[in-house]
Amino acid sequence: MDIITLWTLLIAAPFVGSFLGVVVTRLPAGRSVVWGRSACDRCGHTLGPASLVPVLSYLWSKGRCRHCAASIGAFHPAIELAAVLPPLCLAFLMPLNSLTLCAGAGLGWALLALAWIDLRHMILPDALTLPLIIAGILVGWTQDGHFPVDRLAAAAAAYAGLVLLEKLYRRIRGRDGIGRGDAKLLAAGGAWVGPAAVPHVLLIAALAGLLAMAALRLAGRRVDGRHVDGTTPMPFGPCLALGIWAAWLFTLSGL
């Protein structure tokens, strides 16, 4: 039964990725992610079912709108393929029960959407971070058989700690460097991985951030934590998302 769940998640992943593409595109703009059919960004032509098959539609149309021949761009097939990664990672940790598989895939997909939105818009929407906190506590409650006070405490401590760091940074540097969205995302991490693994989340996120910053510097770009003339903004959300996902996988594997 568990292997059937895994295969179902793997098959569904590109379709979930297609929905995540809608979330990444519409949510920051304040548009509904549920209502409204997909359409070409250039000509507004409503896309039919044949144009909505993940990856294959893009390849069949050669990356162009079938109505106006405008270039579609690689974003949609990229996120559809990226959505396969969470269940694929879980496949290497089998055997896992169906609840853990579904919860893990959901966590991975939510983190993927948050990371992509932060890269594009430098925001982490409450509509994704807050439900992720609740989901982590509920999953822990179901798995442990009792209310996970430790996860709730980890979420609260993670949020408070990053808010304190935000205030210290503002006082020392005289400007914002860490946003409240980052604090809420770390709180979600605390709810999912528990207090013992929160330091691992921060360590992985910090290392990922330093590596990304070094790569940008080597490419000749100036890096800053916000949009400043002549600098490349450096969002921390993708680093936190990577840290949460890695720490959760390590927790599952017993490392």
247/140 same-domain check: yes
111/141 same-domain check: no
Which pLDDT does position 216 carry in this prediction? 79
**Which residue type is seen at 102?**
C
168/197 same-domain check: yes
| Residue finishing a domain among 71, 89, 121 | 121
| Residue finishing a domain among 94, 121, 148 | 121
Q: Is the per-residue pLDDT at 66 higher than 70?
A: no
Q: pLDDT digit string (tens) for 6-64?
A: 999 999 999 999 999 989 988 988 887 777 666 656 665 566 665 667 787 777 776 66
| Residue finishing a domain among 58, 86, 121 | 121
Which pLDDT does position 65 carry in this prediction? 63
133/248 same-domain check: yes
Task: Choose between 147 and 38: higher pLDDT.
Answer: 147
| Locus of tokens 């032509």 | 45
Which pLDDT does position 229 carry in this prediction? 47
Distances (CA, A) of 188 to 3, 135, 136, 180: 28, 9, 7, 12
Count of the separate structural domains present in the chain: 2
Residue-level length of the chain: 255
Q: What is the mean pLDDT of residues 128-156?
A: 93
pLDDT class for 228, splitting at 50, 70, 90? Answer: very low
Which pLDDT does position 32 carry in this prediction? 74
Cβ atoms 190, 154 nearer than 8 A: yes
Report the predicted TM-score, pTM, of the whole model to 2 decimal places.
Answer: 0.89
238/152 same-domain check: yes
Q: pLDDT digit string (tens) for 151-204?
A: 999 999 999 998 888 888 778 776 666 778 999 999 999 999 999 999 999 999
66/131 same-domain check: no
Q: Is the per-residue pLDDT at 92 higher than 80?
A: yes
Q: Could you tell me the maximum CA-CA distance found in the chain, to the nearest angstrom?
A: 57
> What does the alpha-carbon distance between residue 236 and residue 114 come to, in Å, rounded to a whole number?
11
User: If DSSP states are collapsed to H, E and C, what string results for 216-240?
Assistant: HHHCCCCEECCCCCCCEECCCHHHH
136/183 same-domain check: yes
Residue 204's DSSP bridge partners are none
57/88 same-domain check: yes
179/95 same-domain check: no
- Phi, psi of 197, deg, nearest 5: -100, -10
Structural domain boundaries enclosing 53 = 1-121
Token couple for 199: 């330091």
**Best CA proximity match to 212, nearest among 247, 184, 169, 242:** 242
